[in-house]
Amino acid sequence: MTRIFNHLIFVSILLSAVLISGCGGAQNTSSRTIETEIPQRPAGQEDMVAFTAPKMDIVRVGFIGLGMRGPGAVQRFTHIPGVEIKALCDIHPERVEKTQEILTKANFPEATAYSGSHDAWKELCDRDDIDLVYIVTDWKVHAEMAIYAMEQGKHVAVEVPGAMTMNEIWRIIDTSEKTRKHCMMLENCVYDFFELTSLNMAQQGVFGEILHAEGAYIHNLADFWDYYEGDWRMAYNKEFRGDVYATHGMGPACQALDIHRGDKMNILVAMDTKPVNIPEYLIEKRGLSKEEAYKFENGQNTMTMIRTENGKTIHIQHDVSSPRPYSRMYQLSGTKGFANKYPTQGYALEASQVDISIIPNHEDLNSHGFVSDDVRRALMDKYKHPIHIELEEKAKEVGGHGGMDFIMDYRLIYCLQNGLPLDMDVYDLAEWSCLAELGRISIENGSAPVAVPDFTRGGWNKVKGYRHAFAE
């Protein structure tokens, strides 16, 4: 109870800061709110909301980055019909050679290899027989590669986060709008079985109106720091403050709240704790002096509260060093019910929201506690998302974070082949990635409110409600 009480106090403090700065949407935003520049849309460009590209029977793919995540992506693509893997690129030639073995095993032709140079990836993008460039490198170069690939006429899928600065975000948006090419961020957690089922329940009104969502990336990386080539991830956390890895929490939350599909984020407030565990790790494991180790920018725990145009809220956390169980802290709170995945997976619902066929004795059901495991399983079966109905068995067979990765890749190709809007567009990339810089600005200014730009530049209300697209 103490932990819950303290959490509620913190949320109240953050929300109060948001309310003080302007509680009624953009028109009431206080002059104390910090605003970043919103570049004017270049003449002749249009937004990419609900954008569709011409259908393509075969999607020809080139992969850049074959380290921790790349080979798994290549393996998953060998299980997707209508795909040709044309090129593989990594600075290390042995990684390319190793990944070629995946293609051989799957009876795919050998792909053209690019390696040995920091610019080899550009040669891949320059090819005229590639439709989609799939970027699986460290996040420092995501934006540069995505922009160049679109400029060469390619659709882009890029690992999370899609961009790390507001300048990168706006450049990606402008390039996507100018070239009329998709730029999808590879956020796999929106395809998690619990998250996608809960989204379907929310869209069918089971929880009433969703008012609040929570998400997080809580994952102690102490055992993994040395696996990031060139120490890029540690270096980034050492040099930058703010939520540098917000997308796993933001994705499911934003989809449930229809962000830029009838609502938009207006303002955020962020704060963090002092860093302790990673500096101490650097002292113990890498021999740094205390003075040098504690020159560390990112807080141990970073917390961000967001308020939307329609008066809803999102709470996001980031912690990669505390001895805490892994958690994405997924929660949806509505007027009629509640969904929660970590640490307890379950639903709390008013009796009126549960079909009598699922639980005949409604007298034992109330919103003060989670429904029984049997009822939870029955609800998840009843509201299983159509995507899971189609792909669950295959996804679990192929794998990738329990199948989430395969569903993500399959849906990307499915939408391209059928000329449908992608599940995640370039504005999702922007909205879910912007916490890195906007949160830093808030923290470095005493947790001041910071305006979240309308990345659609006016198109956020054109589509009413988030929905996955399906072929007729």
Q: Which residues of 434-448 are buried (b: 16+ CB within 10 A; e: fewer)?
A: bbbbbbbbbbeeebb
The DSSP-derived string for 364-397 is: G--TTSPPPHHHHHHHHHHT--HHHHHHHHHHHH
Same domain, yes or no: 347 and 216: yes
**Does residue 457 sit within a domain?**
no
Q: What pTM was estimated for this model as a whole?
A: 0.92
Write the CATH number for 134: 3.40.50.720
CATH label of the domain that carries residue 322: 3.30.360.10
Residue 413 lies in a domain: no
Query: Do 247 and 336 fall into the same domain?
Result: yes
Percent of the chain with pLDDT strictly greater than 90: 88
Examine residue 441 and state whether it is found in any structural domain, yes or no.
yes
Task: State the CB neighbour count (10 A cutoff) for residue 24.
Answer: 12
Same domain as 447, residue 352? yes
pLDDT of residue 357: 63
Q: What is the DSSP string of 147-201?
A: HHHHHTT-EEEEESSS-SSHHHHHHHHHHHHHHT--EEEE-GGGG-HHHHHHHHH
pLDDT digits (tens, 9 = 90+) for 141-185: 999 999 999 999 999 999 999 999 999 999 999 999 999 999 999
When divided into structural domains, the chain yields a total of: 2
Give me the phi and psi of 315, to 5 degrees please: -120, 125
Residue in 319, 336, 339, 335 with CA at minimum distance from that of residue 327: 319
Q: Is the same domain home to 282 and 314? A: yes
Q: Which of 164, 186, 208 is the last residue of a domain?
A: 186
- How far is CA 198 from its chain centroid? 17
Between CA 366 and CA 378 the distance in angstroms is 17
What does the alpha-carbon distance between residue 260 and residue 462 come to, in Å, rounded to a whole number? 8
Domain stops at, among 186, 212, 245 = 186
Range of the domain at 77: 59-186
* 110 and 201 housed in the same domain: no
CB 375 within 8 A of CB 346: no
Contact predicate 349/206, CB 8 Å: yes
Tell me the C-alpha distance between 198 and 207, whole Å: 9
Instruction: Provide the 3-class DSSP secondary structure of residue 6.
Output: helix
Last residue of a domain, one of 170, 186, 202: 186
Indicate whether 197 and 221 sit together in one domain: yes
* Helix axes 435-444 and 426-433, enclosed angle (nearest 10): 30
Do residue 210 and residue 173 come from a single domain? no
H or E stretch at 313: strand 313-319
**Digit-coded pLDDT (tens) for 291-309:** 999 999 999 999 999 999 9
Residue 428 inside a domain? The answer is: yes
At 116, the amino acid letter reads G
- The whole-number pLDDT of residue 28 equals 44
Structure confidence by residue, pLDDT tens digits, 187-238: 999 999 999 999 999 999 999 999 999 999 999 999 999 999 999 999 999 9
Instruction: With a cut of 90, say whether residue 440 has pLDDT above it.
Output: yes
**Whether residues 331 and 282 fall in one domain:** yes
Residues 194 and 76 occupy one common structural domain: no
Residue 45 lies in a domain: no
Confidence (pLDDT) at 3: 45
Looking at the fold, whether 232 and 176 belong to one and the same domain comes out as no
In a domain? residue 458: no
Does residue 444 form part of some domain? yes
Which token pair is 356? 């009598």
- C-beta separation of 387 from 191 below 8 A: yes
**353 and 369 share one domain:** yes
pLDDT of residue 369: 87
Is the confidence at residue 438, as pLDDT, over 70?
yes
Any residues with CB less than 8 A from the CB of 360 and at least 6 apart, and which? none
Per-chain mean pLDDT for the chain: 92
DSSP run (H or E) holding 96? helix 93-105
> How large is the average pLDDT for residues 327-350?
96
Residue 20 maps to a domain: no
Tell me, what's the pLDDT at 365? 60
Q: 431 or 355, which is more confident? A: 431
Do 200 and 337 lie in one domain? The reply is: yes
Query: Over the range 334-361, which residues count as b (16 or more CB within 10 Å of their CB) and which as e?
Result: bebbbbbbbeeebbbbbeebbeeebbee
